[in-house]
Amino acid sequence: MAIIQPSFDNKRQNLRDIIPLSAPFHIGIEPTRFCNFKCFFCQQSTRGDADDLFVKKGQAIQHMNFELYKKIINDIMDLPEQPKKIQLAGMGEPILNPELGKMIRYLRSAGFSGRISTYTNGMALTPQIADELADSGLTSLQVSVYGITAEDFKSLAGTSVDVDQYVKNIQYMFEHKKSIQIRLKTTDDVVTTEVKRKAFFDMFDGVCDQIFVEHIINIPNQMGRLRVKARNITQYSEELESYRAICPWMFYQSHINIDGDVFFCDILAKPKEYAIGNIKDSSFVSIWNGAQRSELLCTGLKCGQNSITQCIDCDDRFSMTAPEEYLDDCREELLERLQQQ
């Protein structure tokens, strides 16, 4: 029987006690922008339409070049401390990249000993891919479920799904997972009634290690017309603060997209002009310790997150950050520490 438990980690240090960090705790790397779903709440739903946000943002739909990926990993291994987690995920469906297993194996062969995770919608999770992931060194696989009936999938993900085969593929992954932790989640906007909730648990309880129904949360304003309104509750099941000026993510996260652009948090779909550097031109260490990132951190502490162009109108500091990451009441102390670096 699966443990009913959310996918996020509730065992967190108080971030204020450890800033500044010599290396990020969490790095996201985007293996692909190809996706087999067109979920209504995602930028992918505009793919091929007149309102195609990929076209508007100049974002090519392609896989990450493996040589670029190798440089990213080699750069990360030059950090004074290893990240706690590297997540191979981005705007696409990770397992559509045929080199995903190779990417994970390369990361392990480079000496990375932390957690390696990826996400999947489960649609393309064939036995062949499951076997490759099981032998790759992956730590955790999160399966995001967008329906319990074919009609649900069509409505939410814009795709026809053979639900029986879908469940069988996840079951095969679970039975052949070796050391991978299989986490399966849906949202309360998918299982909208107690009947659907029970059906969800009955359908998937035996094919994963952890299972949970999470609350729908904000998608940032960078998604344009696709923004989804959050309820008055965070990802961590805490009540929202009435206001949070400082976003903690930029202090401990980084995201690298398929083009090598580096961003100071893991919110996806940002346009290139929001990048703080590119792996093709600089090392990751120099970008993490660079003047541009330092200046943005100090600006945020002095003037609040909305003073940073990349962060204007992004509400994720309310809905997706943990209580241990609250920094508003120690801004001056943190600013002094950063300026003394």
CA torsion sign for 302, 339, 309, 76 is negative
- Compute the average pLDDT of residues 178-184: 97
**In angstroms, how far apart are the furthest CA atoms of the chain?**
59
Amino acid at site 199: A
Helix axes 100-109, 127-134, angle to 10 degrees: 0
pLDDT at residue 173 is higher than 80 = yes
Among 287, 291, 200, 300, residue whose Cα is nearest residue 250 = 300
Share of the chain above pLDDT 90, in %: 67
- Compute the average pLDDT of residues 252-260: 96
Q: pLDDT tens digits for 195-209?
A: 999 999 999 999 999
Q: pLDDT tens digits for 28-48?
A: 999 999 999 988 878 887 888
- Compute the average pLDDT of residues 91-114: 98
pLDDT, greater one: 30 or 220: 30
- Mean pLDDT (the chain, rounded): 88
According to the model, what pLDDT value does residue 167 have?
97
pLDDT at residue 283 is higher than 90 = yes
Contact present, 333 and 18 (Cβ < 8 Å): no
Q: Strands 140-144 and 115-120: what pairing?
A: parallel
Q: Residue ranges per domain, the chain?
A: 3-7+23-339
According to the model, what pLDDT value does residue 7 have?
56
According to the model, what pLDDT value does residue 41 have?
79
Q: Averaging pLDDT over each range in 1-15, 285-299, 308-322, which range is the top one?
A: 285-299
Contact present, 98 and 69 (Cβ < 8 Å): no
Which CATH architecture group holds 3-7+23-339? Answer: Alpha-Beta Barrel (3.20)
- Compute the average pLDDT of residues 151-173: 95
